[in-house]
Structure 1
Amino acid sequence: KLQDIFRRTAVDLLGEQATLVMPARRNRGGSTDMGDLSHIIPACHPYTAGAVGPGHSKEYVITDYETAVIVPAKIMAMVVIELLADGAKQAKEVKANHRPLMTKQAYVKFQRERAEIIEFDGAA
């Protein structure tokens, strides 16, 4: 599983105490394109420390560039190396073991059926 590979790699770099995997039942209250993608392809959406303030706000500030940017980039690069090593053995395993919740066609159909046009004239 992709998340397991990411976590192992993070632990190798940072140590057990510096990593945390949130339980699947925990809802963070947001939505992402990554959530959509995970219905179709193997996906992992890690978060990092090193910032304060509400996300997407003017108060959001990177307070530790190393922790917020450099370390996650190192982990992601290490994950890519691990996935592609040995003839991409682990990447092939991740793909083979992934059970998508929807086919690409079913996902596109679902999105098209729920899409709507909302016009705002600013006068209301």
Structure 2
Amino acid sequence: NSCARAKNIPAIKDASLKADRAFRAGAIATGCGMRLETMSGYMPTVPCSDVTAIKEALEDVAKDQYKIVYEGAECHGTASTDFGDVSCIMPLLQFSTGGYTGQLHNPDVRVTDEYLAYVVTAKVFALTAYKLLKNGGNYAKGLLDSYQAVMTKESYVEFMDSMNSVEEIPMAPLEIV
């Protein structure tokens, strides 16, 4: 199985084509044959330009107790999640909190600050929702107005389907001399 990740959609296509070509070349060169299943990877995150609601919520909840770092829209993270997929078709606000040690998605993750990990996080979610909806949803409307969708739902589904393929290269062992 193969799937590519990249910072933008053309780069995903390019990386996927190059990886598949390299796998094919290896199989053909060694004569071993291969079944290549290419699938769509996670899409890159489309950052929101208007993060007022979440920024205010973070400051209201945590600025007196914890350091708050804003990475901004220009930040390029190396992790991929379905967050990127959804952010291609609708605006999403993303934040992360601490309160744990270890590598995410690994057995060594340990909660070290339950208040930060659970309570502060829940408060930020709740206060962000409140700020988005108060005053007739002014912040939510601003978020929607400033967002530029990369894809429609239909073009997203079409793209994801276009990235899925299965190819069989038969074994062609080389003669041993």
For structure 2, the 5+ residue unaligned runs are 1-48, 168-177
Higher relative contact order (CA 8 A, sep 6+): 2
Given the alignment, which residue of 136, 153, 158 partners 1:104?
A: 153
For structure 1, the 5+ residue unaligned runs are 119-124
Question: Cα gap change, 1:55/1:86 in structure 2, threshold over 3 Å: closer, same or farther?
Answer: same
Given the alignment, which residue of 5, 10, 13 partners 2:61?
A: 13
Q: 1:2: how far off? A: 4.9
Structure having the larger proportion of residues in helix: 1
2: CA distance, partners of 1:117 / 1:69:
43
SS at match of 1:55: coil
Q: What RMSD, in angstroms, separates the aligned Cα atoms of the two structures?
A: 2.0
Is 1:90 aligned to 2:139, yes or no?
yes
Question: Cα gap change, 1:71/1:106 in structure 2, threshold over 3 Å: closer, same or farther?
Answer: same
Structure having the larger proportion of residues in strand: 2
Q: 1:69: how far off? A: 1.4
Is 1:46 aligned to 2:67, yes or no?
no
Q: Which residue of 2 aligns with 1:122?
A: none
Find the structure with the greater CA-based Rg.
Answer: 2
Aligned length: 118
